[in-house]
Chains A and B, each alone.
Chain A
């Protein structure tokens, strides 16, 4: 067996409250940031093809800032620098969790915008034309026809983003969010059982991602339009955006 690895300690870590709560916190942070990023990303995507130069410029600037700087730096900026600049952030409501959520949402939105945009563009322009020929308004065409079809296209790259985001929540340990990595650190700081602590944390990540993969494949089937619920042919997936290390 593994000489120094204690299964007993591993189980102890795995079933301890801090790990369990840390995993839950990581998941909450991921889901929250993911949802906010989708909404923000949608408007950024629409803004990118706006007629107004100012709007397009603004979107470019936003994407540029959040993609060109490290996520860790953004996180620290939100938590440490914002309170220094604005007094409102010095109050009790601005918790580490909220700071992390804000930083990760803003960061993720920059990437999400590209995915949403490629999704919208991948829908055959003939679909919009047919909607207009029926006399449908732009908003209705978007909601009833384009967005549902774009969803299918963006599910795989968005699944990637979810996983990335989940892993990025570990960065929040530096601003004292008690997520999984913090739980592991607290565990080994008293017991010196590094291997068991990290293995336990890793297992939680693995479980969350596995569940996500199941949900993702279910969603992909749900958004494949055949009456028999089986996949006939899938449109070529939008290539996932090459992952810059964040």
Chain B
């Protein structure tokens, strides 16, 4: 049972309260899409879940305990592929440096995962030589090869040219269909509509509303959600 929980997370940067008590649970195989204005705390929440930041108070747990390194995969808005490594080396990195697999075995697995995101032929290319969409797919392979129990996506398509968004969303959709537990911060509302188990609205460090996508988009209850949706759509 890989349920991912955030329990009453609080976080502040200096005087700014970024998270004001966020609690939510992602059941195994669920996909939660978080929307909200910039500065609402979405990214900070994701970083807390990925253990990239330590919340001031509150806890993050996976299956009732603290997640181990590599158990929660993270995909960033700006891909953050290691610039000094080829696509294949990027995907191998976690296996070699964290899991301590022998290079040969790591290479085999990495090759397999690159193929899964449709980039087997780009193994020897450096990030600079790949399009944004390709880079983001390599970044997904890099996280997935660690066999994470949950995947977090921080606006994975918002740095992409419009025509490259689709290829990234396709990989995410197939991942969701395979039953991956996912938390996605994104304003791709069509994706949210099709794929999400539920959609969350965040504002000023709180979860304002959470509902299944049909309900969320058709009849949002909160005034704040209505206002936001009317601006985004």
Decide if A149 touches B73 in the complex (CB within 8 Å): no
**A89-B112 Cα distance, complex, nearest whole Å:** 62
Count of chain B residues with a beta carbon within 8 Å of a chain A beta carbon = 30
Q: Which residues 78-137 of A have a CB within 8 angstroms of B?
A: 124, 126-127, 129-136
Interface string of A216-237 (1 = CB under 8 A from B): 0000000101110000110000
Task: Pick the residue among B52, B76, B97, B129 that contacts A144 (CB under 8 A).
Answer: B97
Does B37 reach chain A (CB closer than 8 Å)?
no
Report A-chain residues with C-beta under 8 Å of the C-beta of B126. 225-227
Interface string of B143-182 (1 = CB under 8 A from A): 1001000000000000000000000000000000000000
**A131-B74 Cα distance, complex, nearest whole Å:** 10
Decide if B94 touches A233 in the complex (CB within 8 Å): no
Decide if A225 touches B52 in the complex (CB within 8 Å): no
Chain B residue at minimal CB-CB distance from A128:
B80
Report B-chain residues with C-beta under 8 Å of the C-beta of A134. 69-70, 93-94, 97-98, 142-143, 146
Does B228 reach chain A (CB closer than 8 Å)?
no
Chain A residue at minimal CB-CB distance from B125:
A227
**A14-B76 Cα distance, complex, nearest whole Å:** 60
Report B-chain residues with C-beta under 8 Å of the C-beta of A130. 74, 76, 80-82, 139, 142
Report B-chain residues with C-beta under 8 Å of the C-beta of A127. 80, 82-83
Decide if B98 touches A135 in the complex (CB within 8 Å): yes
Report A-chain residues with C-beta under 8 Å of the C-beta of B50. 133
A136 and B94 in contact, given A225-B128, A227-B125, A233-B128 (Cβ under 8 angstroms):
yes
Given contacts A136-B69, A225-B128, A232-B129, 14 further A-B contacts (CB under 8 A): A127-B83, A132-B52, A133-B52, A134-B70, A136-B94, A136-B97, A136-B98, A140-B97, A144-B82, A225-B126, A225-B127, A227-B125, A227-B126, A232-B128
**A135-B129 Cα distance, complex, nearest whole Å:** 26
Does B58 reach chain A (CB closer than 8 Å)?
no
Does B86 reach chain A (CB closer than 8 Å)?
yes
Give 10 CB contacts A-B under 8 Å: A126-B78, A126-B80, A132-B52, A134-B98, A144-B97, A223-B84, A225-B85, A225-B127, A227-B126, A227-B129
Does A35 reach chain B (CB closer than 8 Å)?
no
Interface string of B93-113 (1 = CB under 8 A from A): 110011000000000000000
Does A148 reach chain B (CB closer than 8 Å)?
yes
Does B38 reach chain A (CB closer than 8 Å)?
no
Interface string of B56-76 (1 = CB under 8 A from A): 000000000000111001101
Report A-chain residues with C-beta under 8 Å of the C-beta of B127. 225
**A126-B76 Cα distance, complex, nearest whole Å:** 9
**A232-B130 Cα distance, complex, nearest whole Å:** 12
